[in-house]
Amino acid sequence: MIYNSLSLAKFQSNALFSPKTRRTLSNGSDFTEMTSSPSSPLDEDLEKEEANHVFLIAGYARYKRPYVWLRSNHKRLIQLQDDQKLETDNPLKLDTIAAWKTQDVKLWDIIAEVITLSLSPPPENPFEINHSYYDTLPLEECAVSTGAMVDFLQKVYLKDTNHSDKVFEDIKILQQRHFAAFEEMNEALNSNALEKSNPSSGVSATN
């Protein structure tokens, strides 16, 4: 069986929570109806993953905040005392999650914290753009995707974080690429329009 993010959430909406976690998330309210279902085959495969870090970010309306779970490579990121047991189904304690109700925390703030925790040394800019990727795109797709990325990075930049200067540098490069792509598209459209308005004659110059 193949799971997408939606079907997986429906299939195991409670499998992510241990009894202790369900008690914590419910804030003392009745959680007896939250029965645990077996972990999915996907989760079992992820637990064996050691080359990459896999995170699950999920939001539930009743808890009024998102939570983040580490689904692979637990021992590398989670340091335990000798008498502690690794509980892989507990959500991570993140600064962004703790500040969710009191500050204007966005999803990308959570992603930035997760990236920073996962990499050593932590990146100066967790949203650093791989500009060579846009070289692989068709012209029209490049124009649209660079515009969309600029729109997103502008929101990140306006949050005034430690990496805002780096984000701004990427914005400038993407804007240049975006307008260059649109200019090239306009030239191509004008060229096609000119050819249509002046079709070549079908009459041969020779008898």
- Asked if 185 contacts 140 with a C-beta cutoff of 8 angstroms, the reply is yes
Residues 22-47, mean pLDDT to the nearest whole number: 48
Counting every residue written for the chain, the total comes to 207
Q: Which helix (H) or strand (E) holds 179?
A: helix 164-197
pLDDT tens for each residue of 86-127: 455 678 888 999 999 999 999 999 999 988 888 888 899 999
pLDDT tens for each residue of 145-171: 999 999 999 999 998 888 999 999 999
Residue 28 pLDDT more than 90? Answer: no
Q: Left if phi > 0, otherwise alpha if psi is -120 to 50, otherwise beta: which for 171?
A: alpha
Residues 50-64, mean pLDDT to the nearest whole number: 78
Burial 125-138 (b: 16+ CB within 10 A, else e): bbbebeeeebeeee
Pairwise CA distance, residues 204 & 207, whole Å:
7
Contacts by 46-55, CB closer than 8 A, 24 or more apart? 46/71, 46/72, 47/71, 47/72, 47/74, 47/88, 48/72, 49/73, 50/76, 53/77, 53/118, 55/114
Q: Provide the whole-model pTM.
A: 0.64
Say how many C-beta atoms besides its own lie within 10 A of residue 71's C-beta: 19
Dmax over Cα atoms in the chain, in whole Å? Answer: 99
Q: Left if phi > 0, otherwise alpha if psi is -120 to 50, otherwise beta: which for 86?
A: beta
Cα Rg of the chain (Å, integer)? 25
Label residue 174 exposed, middle or buried (CB < 10 Å: 0-12, 13-18, 19+): buried
| pLDDT of res. 201 | 47
Higher pLDDT among residues 79 and 157, named by residue = 157
